[in-house]
A and B are shown apart, each in its own frame.
Chain A
Amino acid sequence: MEADKFSIQIGSMEMRLISESHQLRTRIEDELGWSIGSRFLLKAGLLVGRPGDTSVGRPAWVLYESGNIVLRRSVDEDVISAAACYHLHTLDRALSDRHLPLNVRVFLVNGEAWLVDTSVAYQLAGLDRGMLRRGVVVLPTSIAAVDTATGELVLPDRTFGEDVPSGRIALARVMLRPPSFDRLEAARPLLGLARSVVRTADADLDVRLGQVVELARRLGDGLEVRDREQIVEVVDSLSK
Chain B
Amino acid sequence: MSETAVPFRETNFSVAPYSVVDMEGHRLIWPHGGLPVALDLAATTLLDCYQVPTSPSALAADLEDAVGLDADVAMEAAIAATTDFQRSGLVVAEGQVPMPARELAYPAGASP
8 Å CB contact of A201 from B20, B26, B102: B102
CA of A76 to CA of B39, assembled, Å = 49
Binds B, one of A29-37, A105-113, A190-198: A190-198
- A228 → chain B, closest Cβ, in Å? 16
Decide yes or no whether B66 CB sits under 8 A from chain A: no
Specify which chain A residues have a CB less than 8 angstroms from the CB of B97 in the assembled complex. none
B79-112 interface bits toward A, Cβ cutoff 8 Å, 1 = contact, 0 = none: 0000000000000000000001110111111110
Pick from A44, A103, A203, A208 the residue with the most CB of B within 10 Å.
A203
CA of A105 to CA of B106, assembled, Å = 15
Using a CB-CB cutoff of 8 Å, which residues 172-218 of chain A contact chain B? 182-184, 186-188, 190-191, 194-195, 197-203, 205-206, 208-210, 212-213
8 Å CB contact of A213 from B21, B35, B37, B107: B21
Nearest-neighbor residue (CB-CB) of B30 within chain A: A205
- Do B105 and A187 have beta carbons less than 8 Å apart? no
Nearest-neighbor residue (CB-CB) of A200 within chain B: B105
- A113 → chain B, closest Cβ, in Å? 20
- Do B40 and A66 have beta carbons less than 8 Å apart? no
- B30 → chain A, closest Cβ, in Å? 5
Decide yes or no whether B6 CB sits under 8 A from chain A: no
Nearest-neighbor residue (CB-CB) of A190 within chain B: B28
8 Å CB contact of B26 from A43, A65, A187: A187
Specify which chain A residues have a CB less than 8 angstroms from the CB of B37 in the assembled complex. 182, 191
- Do B109 and A186 have beta carbons less than 8 Å apart? no
Specify which chain A residues have a CB less than 8 angstroms from the CB of B105 in the assembled complex. 13, 199-201, 203
CA of A201 to CA of B35, assembled, Å = 13
The contact size tier of chain A is: 35 or more
A93-112 interface bits toward B, Cβ cutoff 8 Å, 1 = contact, 0 = none: 00000000001000000000
Using a CB-CB cutoff of 8 Å, which residues 39-88 of chain A contact chain B? 42-45, 47, 65-68
Give the secondary structure class of A's interface.
mixed
- A142 → chain B, closest Cβ, in Å? 9
- CB < 8 Å A-B pair total: 82
Specify which chain A residues have a CB less than 8 angstroms from the CB of B26 in the assembled complex. 184, 186-187
- Do B106 and A13 have beta carbons less than 8 Å apart? yes
Decide yes or no whether B7 CB sits under 8 A from chain A: no
CA of A200 to CA of B105, assembled, Å = 5
Using a CB-CB cutoff of 8 Å, which residues 26-47 of chain B contact chain A? 26, 28, 30, 32, 35-40
- A84 → chain B, closest Cβ, in Å? 13
Decide yes or no whether B19 CB sits under 8 A from chain A: yes
Nearest-neighbor residue (CB-CB) of A64 within chain B: B110
- Do A195 and B107 have beta carbons less than 8 Å apart? no
Specify which chain B residues have a CB less than 8 angstroms from the CB of A68 in the assembled complex. 110-111
CA of A45 to CA of B109, assembled, Å = 8
CA of A209 to CA of B106, assembled, Å = 17
Report B's interface with A, CB cutoff 8 A. 18-21, 23, 25-26, 28, 30, 32, 35-40, 100-102, 104-111
9 contacts between A and B (CB under 8 A): A15-B107, A67-B111, A184-B39, A187-B28, A188-B38, A197-B36, A201-B102, A202-B101, A208-B19
Q: 6 smallest A-B Cβ distances: which pairs?
A: A187-B38, A67-B110, A194-B36, A205-B19, A201-B102, A68-B111
Known contacts A205-B19, A210-B21, then 9 further A-B pairs from the complex at CB < 8 Å, ordered by chain A residue? A13-B106, A42-B109, A43-B107, A43-B110, A66-B110, A190-B28, A203-B101, A208-B19, A213-B23
